[in-house]
Structures are given as C-alpha cells and as structure tokens.
Amino acid sequence: MKIQRINDERLIMQNLKNIRIVYALQTLGMVAILGYNYITNGMIGVKENPLWIVFIASTVILAFLSLTTDERLISKNLQKIRVAYAVQTLGVVAILGYDLIAEGMDGMKENPLWIVFIVSTTILAFLSMNISVDHESNKRSAKKGLMISLIALALISIIVGTFTSFSEGFTAIDGILTGVIFLIGGCIPFLFLFALRERKGDDS
C-alpha cells in the first residue's frame, strides 16, 4: 500500500481517536502486569520492573501536557495522547529489546509485556486500515489489490515454509505447518482491507 500524507481533517481526527483507544488498551495491559507484580511480590516487585518507569513517565508527560487543555479543543487533547502513547511505546520496545539481547527470543516472549505490545500494535494496524482505505483513490480495484496481495503472501509463505523445513531441528511437516499458519495469518488483514474497499465502493 502506497503511503500518502493525510490532509483530510476528518481522517486525521479519526487516526488520533484510534491512537487514544490503543493507548488506553496498552495502559490497561501495563497496569495489569504491574498489578500482578504487586500481588505476587509487593511494591518492591513493582518498582523493580522497568515497566513502572515507562508507566510513570508516560502518565506524567500526559498530565503536564494536559495542564492547559481547553476542553473545547478536542484535537489538541488527542494530539497530547499521541505524544504520551509514543513515549509509552518507545519504553515498551526498549524493555522488550533489552530482554531480546539479554535472554534471546524465548526470554522476550516470556515477558507478558510482549502480548500487550503485539495486541495493541495489531489493533492499531486494523484501526488504521480504515483510514488508509478512505484516503485511497476511488480508482483502486479491490479485487485486483486482493489478488496481488494473496499471490505475494503465498510466495512468501512458501519461502518461509521451505526455509523452516531445511532449518536444523525442523522437519518437512514443521515447514508446511509454518507456511500454512503464515498464510492464514496473513490473509486476515488482506481480507479485512478487501471488505473495507468493497464497502467504500458500494458507498461511493
């Protein structure tokens, strides 16, 4: 999909609202993790988790940015949430990156923050698709776009499956399963985009 600068005020507002939703979900996930640490290890366990610093930093930044907020300026408020979300996400990525370097991929995946990051990023991606489709030219063919995407996805799935099959410790069955899972998982966003483009075509 070609990346274009969005100048439509309505789409910009919708994008900011999407970020607000994901920021709320990501914050709830962080609170849940810190709450679990508090229950299992007490306040010391919470303070030892670097996620505590990320949570405090993003919350304090949002609070300071909101000090002079005029309640009528919804757009300004949403932009401040976007800044807090960016700070929060950078902190999450930094923590996961440290886990990846220190403990490898398995260690990173064992951190519940990994699930929060994946879920929030996926939700934001799906919410952003609607804006991307609205910003596209009406001349784009939904079926043609879907076919091109599925062909490219099928080729990538075959390559991933083949590499997995020939990797040490994996069998041909593992390669086939990996390719099929990759194909099915990749189909979901493309089918979602197709449905959005079809709906846009029906409305126009």
Residues 26-75: tens digit of each pLDDT: 888 888 888 888 888 888 777 778 888 888 888 777 776 665 545 455 66
Question: What's the rounded Cα separation, in Å, for the pair 53 and 22?
Answer: 19
Average pLDDT, the chain: 75
Q: How much is the pTM?
A: 0.56
User: How would you write 76-100 as a 3-class SS string?
Assistant: HHHHHHHHHHHHHHHHHHHHHHHHH
Q: Exposed/middle/buried for 143, CB within 10 Å: 0-12, 13-18, 19+?
A: exposed
**Domain segments of the chain: what residues?**
7-135, 138-204
Give me the mean pLDDT over the 8-21 stretch.
Answer: 73
